[in-house]
A and B are shown apart, each in its own frame.
Chain A
Amino acid sequence: MSNNKYFGYAGKILTVDLSSSDYVVEDTPFDLIVNFMGGKGFGAKILYDELKPGCEPLSEDNIMVVATGPLTGTLMPASGHVTLSTKSPLTGIWLDSHCAGFLGPELKMAGYDAIIIKGKAKKPTVLVIKDDGVSFEDGRDLWGKFTFESQELLRKKYGENCQFMCIGPAGERKARFANIVSGGRGFGRGGSGAVMGSKNLKAVVVKGTRGIGIYDLDGFMRMCTEAYNELTVSPDTGGGRPKYGTNSIYSFMIEAGAHPVKNFQTGVFEAVKECNEDVLDKKYYKRHIACFSCPINCSKASRVDDGKYKGKFTEGPEYENMWSLGAQCGNSNIGSIIYGEHLCDEYGLDAISTGNVIGFTMECFEKGILSEKQIGFPVKFGNDEAIIKFIEMMAKGEGVGELMSQGVRQMSKELGKGTEKFAMHVKGMEIPAYDPRGAFGMGLAYATSDRGACHLRAWTLGAEILDVRNRIDPFATEFKAELVKSQQDFYAVIQSAVVCLFLNFGLTQRQITRCLQSLTGIKEWKTTEDILKIGERIYNLTRLFSMREGISAKDDTLPQRLLREPTKEGPTKGVVVDLDTMLKEYYLIRHWDREGRPTKEKLTELGLDKYK
């Protein structure tokens, strides 16, 4: 059983100093729980208070906060997530990254709400956390190895039932968008793998056997049953998603003109006839994979049975990577997407950024900005073999791959020649698989996302395109500020609770509040408003964090391509995003001033007085 003081929590925070191979275990402070909940919220509070402003993200001064939340590891469906917060080496600002699978529950069962990782090990190290025992072990034999082989060796050494977080060669050489891999899943976006590599930390091994205390067991079990039933009858989480995975939306996004093609030059992808979720389901998906306590089964094991990629496999491909290694590069060869995604996981590279950068490079080649001589081979859109070569070059830092692995912002800075107009990023984070010219809300979502362009801080397409009640026009600016702000605050709650965002597609805010209430009994969390206030507090604190690192209103923008370059065909023909109108409204609603800084009144209201 748990030895915690608070229901729903493990009750302890482990702080590890890699420089001295020391650690301390402390009680999780109650005011941290009440005001910041867990996960992303814990990361925001701990990093703002403890990280030296202006610190170099790849220096030993950077800190990683790996945190669970109250719902993690419970019987609540989709509760297998864990968060990681740090300063991003890709963007230089706030980064929170979320990993599905089984690691989060294991960490909580080992007795920790969070681990704070500081310093830098003198040699490659494996951090082993088993219930109350913590040890620093030699990781030199694993250095240089792929993530799956590394995890296999760790499993043999430490036991079948351990969970891992592990970097590959890309993280070791500090590629700016390197991932951390856990099982077949990963902490994506922003380069947390490079931070881990800079600390000489090859892997973390976790094994726990404790439990979690529940405040109102009957009430919580009723909520878990309700959640399970809701998720399994929903046309999304009980229909399209279990069958097609995250690709359930693939063809529909192309139909709506919201799936960017060839580095956002068009929204029309003719190859959808042979490259779509139906083909994936019939030809490539071999079985379903579920995360901890999840009835959705959105992950798929895929394998290529014929053609030049015969025998290649992946856990996926996810919708995002079907785009990034597919339409973004004008590529419809699904075998190459499956192999490309697998390589990204093996090397530990973020596949969204990887594909975005490759699409940008292809456009530079077609425009004559990068030559065949500079690259080493021709790279026109649709060249699947070039995509595979680029992944290897980025992971190893070979040739033009070294520059590419620094991200599209840095690449366009070095290339010049007007490339910044079509370098598709916000604040240095490569834009993912939705074109805001097909739904304006995503433009505001990208421009104001706290970690740079991201679809997991607000995902407005459902409300803008599918919602039959509100009928929000995807090509208008009205109601977008309210929509984006409310989603950002609520997603911050989900990411602090810590559960999968897909729970949000089955449960209402009220139901999630009741889950938290019956689990923890925390009297300050009675209403949905109480819960959303926590989300708003977190979102304002991550904003303050990034402003302290140098961003201001001028960075809340989009690439020129989205603001001034209308597409020439398809459902979004002639459309550009009217960001300014939405942004002004957004600042007003957020009570941020013209510089995008939260007002003193807002900070007081959120209990953030000390950060004024």
Chain B
Amino acid sequence: MKVKIKAKFFAMPRDYQGERELEMEVSEDFQQALEEIDSRTKIGIKEKLDKRFVILINGRNYRKVLEDKGKLEEGDNLAFVPFLGGG
């Protein structure tokens, strides 16, 4: 099943991508969705996820969210955020 999500890019992932956000339709299965997002963006999910940046789903760490609900839902916001410290 496909769901509409919003991919938002922050700091360095935004530099790789060249835009702030992108709406797209992806599979509700998270792994499948990641591959689809990877093929449609320039941020390099395969090499850089969990090494250079992390994904927040609706503001929360994606691993935690997936433990709780297992898959993506219509209208989810996926934020690609590098590991950053305080300001």
Contacts and interface: CB of A to CB of B under 8 A. Distances in A.
Q: Do A and B bind each other?
A: yes
Interface of A: 234-237, 239-241, 243-244, 246-252, 255-257, 277-278, 318-320, 433, 438, 455-456, 459, 461-462, 465-468, 471, 473-474, 501-502, 504-505, 571-572
Contacts of B15: 243
Contact of A278 (B20, B52, B58, B64): B20
B83 A236 contact: yes
Contact of B14 (A278, A438, A502): A278
Contacts of B84: 235-236, 240-241, 248-249, 252, 462, 466, 505
Nearest to B15: A243
Contact of A252 (B10, B50, B63, B64): B10
Contacts of B14: 278
Contacts of A459: 85-86
Given A465-B56, A465-B60, A235 B86 contact: no
Nearest to B8: A255
A235 B52 contact: yes
Nearest to B9: A251
Interface of B: 8, 10-12, 14-15, 20, 50, 52-54, 56, 58-61, 63-64, 67, 77, 79, 81-87
Contacts of A278: 14, 20
A504 B85 contact: yes
- 3 closest residue pairs by CB, A with B: A319-B87, A571-B59, A246-B87
Contacts of A319: 87
22 contacts: A234-B83, A235-B52, A236-B84, A236-B85, A239-B11, A246-B87, A248-B84, A249-B84, A250-B87, A252-B81, A255-B77, A459-B85, A462-B85, A465-B60, A465-B61, A466-B83, A468-B63, A471-B61, A471-B63, A474-B60, A501-B86, A571-B58
| Main SS class of interface, B | mixed
Contacts of A248: 11, 82, 84, 87
Given A235-B84, A236-B85, 16 more contacts: A235-B83, A239-B11, A240-B84, A241-B85, A243-B11, A246-B86, A251-B10, A255-B8, A255-B77, A461-B86, A462-B85, A466-B84, A468-B63, A474-B60, A501-B86, A505-B84
A456 B87 CA distance: 9
Contacts of B64: 471, 473
Contact of A462 (B56, B60, B77, B86): B86
Nearest to B81: A252
B67 to A, nearest CB: 8
A584 to B, nearest CB: 24
B87 A249 contact: yes
Nearest to A570: B59
B79 A255 contact: yes
Nearest to A272: B20
A257 B58 CA distance: 9
Nearest to A239: B12
B53 A252 contact: no
A150 B15 CA distance: 41
A256 B63 contact: no
Contacts of B58: 571
Contacts of A474: 60
Contacts of B86: 246, 249, 455-456, 459, 461-462, 501
A456 B86 CA distance: 9
